[in-house]
């Protein structure tokens, strides 16, 4: 079956499909399958199953194209897409469970008008816990615009304007309402492009970073320690390198401060091979829920005041400054011919303020945070 469909599964049909699947399995001897997050699904009992589902605004579910046991191992863009759709689904459900007022994400699904591919964006706005949150999956197949081709050549890529490419990625930003709950951002992506000589060039990129408004050292230690464990399994010393990358990348140079307390950030990742690089990216993406949800549960009931809210909005202003002036993802989105412009600015917080020459009082909790932002600390 190709394409996608909205379905109602009837018991008799399900048994018939299982019988066909098991017969095919017996004939082929293959045990390759794809895990699924389909509600009520029992992966260990089936050899044939749909891909990750998408919940529509009307309450129905859209299931991705099915993969049978007789198919060969899918290519890396397909594997990446399946993985990030599962991460998206799990994160959306986990965040909705934290909303005390029952606020739900809304689905915004867009087919690209140029080239091919699609964007699947879940957005939650004006929640009791999350003032704004977006979790988007994007798949694009097109040709490189001139500016992006030039930027890639500056990074050592052997590409030309018009080179065909495919990009697959997930991006998320969460702006909590409570100033004691930190904001979090992550994105993980795979890029594949045909080089000048016809060869395929590929790489992974991404990272996860935390932006608190008030510093909780226990939170910072737990966050960075978890990331270090993941990185150490991939390659000893990689956490230290990726953490430095993160501090450097998220520096607001004109303010001489970082956007938050960092995390990890990497690009052009191709080592040691595609399989192991993908396994590392998958581990990082899957870690977001266990990294972030404990921090939300810990702080979401804190009774904040107007002074703390004002500080949160000032720091959000810095967040916007970084995204508009320095962020490569924003620049790429504005230069790309396959961009969905609303997705480019999804990361912007819903409210922010700028106060002329504002400086926190010495010895205050706000000043404690600024000390760490101006002098990044090694947490793990």
Using pLDDT thresholds of 50, 70 and 90, give the confidence band for residue 71: low
Neighbours of 282 (CB within 10 A): 18
For the domain spanning 77-374, the CATH number is 3.40.1500.10
53-62, 102-111, 286-295: the lowest-pLDDT one: 53-62
- Domain ranges, ordered by start, for the chain: 5-63, 77-374
The span from the CA of 353 to the CA of 171, in Å, is 25
For the chain, percent of residues with pLDDT exceeding 90: 62
Using pLDDT thresholds of 50, 70 and 90, give the confidence band for residue 307: very high
Beta strands 183-194 and 200-211: pairing type? antiparallel
159-170 pLDDT, tens digit per residue, is 888 888 899 999
Q: Check if 185 is active-site.
A: yes
* Catalytic residue (choose from 25, 142, 175, 185): 185
pLDDT at 2: 41
Task: Give yes or no for residue 46 having a pLDDT over 60.
Answer: no
User: Residue 130's closest CA among 188, 85, 184, 89?
Assistant: 184
Q: Are 174 and 105 in contact (CB under 8 A)?
A: no
Residue 240 has phi, psi (to 5 degrees) of: -60, -40
Using pLDDT thresholds of 50, 70 and 90, give the confidence band for residue 66: very low
pTM above 0.85, yes or no: no
Q: Are 309 and 342 in contact (CB under 8 A)?
A: no
| Higher per-residue pLDDT: 316 or 32 | 316
Task: Give yes or no for residue 240 having a pLDDT over 70.
Answer: yes
Which two structure tokens, joined as six digits, stand for 235? 């390659």
pLDDT at 47: 30
pLDDT at 345: 85
């Amino acid at each position: 079956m190709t394409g996608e469909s909205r379905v109602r599964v009837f018991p008799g049909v399900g048994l018939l499909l299982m019988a066909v699947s098991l017969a095919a399995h017996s004939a082929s001897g293959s045990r390759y399958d794809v895990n699924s997050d389909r509600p009520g699904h029992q992966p260990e009992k089936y050899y044939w199953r749909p891909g990750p589902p998408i919940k529509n605004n009307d309450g129905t579910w859209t299931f991705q194209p099915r993969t049978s046991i007789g198919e060969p191992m899918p290519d890396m863009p397909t594997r990446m897409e399946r993985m990030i759709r599962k991460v998206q689904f799990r994160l959306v459900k986990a965040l909705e469970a934290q909303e005390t007022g029952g606020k739900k994400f809304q689905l915004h699904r867009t087919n690209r008008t140029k080239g091919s591919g699609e964007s699947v964006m879940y957005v939650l706005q004006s929640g009791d816990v999350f003032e704004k949150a977006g979790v988007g999956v994007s798949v694009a197949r097109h040709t490189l615009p001139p500016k992006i081709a030039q930027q890639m050549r500056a990074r050592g890529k052997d590409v030309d304007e018009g080179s065909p490419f495919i990009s697959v990625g997930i991006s998320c930003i969460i702006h909590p309402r409570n100033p004691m709950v930190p904001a979090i951002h992550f994105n993980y992506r795979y890029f594949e492009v045909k080089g000048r000589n016809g060869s395929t060039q590929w790489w992974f990129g991404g990272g996860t970073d935390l932006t608190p408004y008030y510093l909780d050292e226990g939170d910072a230690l737990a966050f960075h320690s978890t990331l270090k464990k993941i990185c150490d399994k991939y390659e000893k010393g990689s956490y230290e390198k990726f953490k430095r990358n993160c501090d450097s990348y998220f520096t607001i140079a004109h303010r001489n401060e970082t956007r938050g307390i960092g995390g990890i950030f990497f690009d052009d990742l191709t080592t040691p091979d595609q399989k192991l690089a993908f396994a590392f990216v998958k581990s990082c993406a899957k870690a977001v829920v266990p990294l972030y949800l404990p921090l939300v549960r810990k702080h979401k009931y804190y009774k904040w005041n107007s002074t703390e809210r004002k500080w949160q909005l000032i720091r959000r202003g810095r967040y916007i400054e970084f995204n508009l002036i320095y962020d490569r993802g924003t620049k790429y989105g504005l230069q790309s011919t396959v961009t969905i412009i609303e997705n480019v600015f999804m990361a912007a917080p819903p409210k922010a303020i700028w106060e002329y020459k504002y400086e926190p009082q010495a010895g205050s909790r706000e000043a404690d945070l600024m000390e760490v932002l101006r002098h990044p600390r090694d947490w793990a």
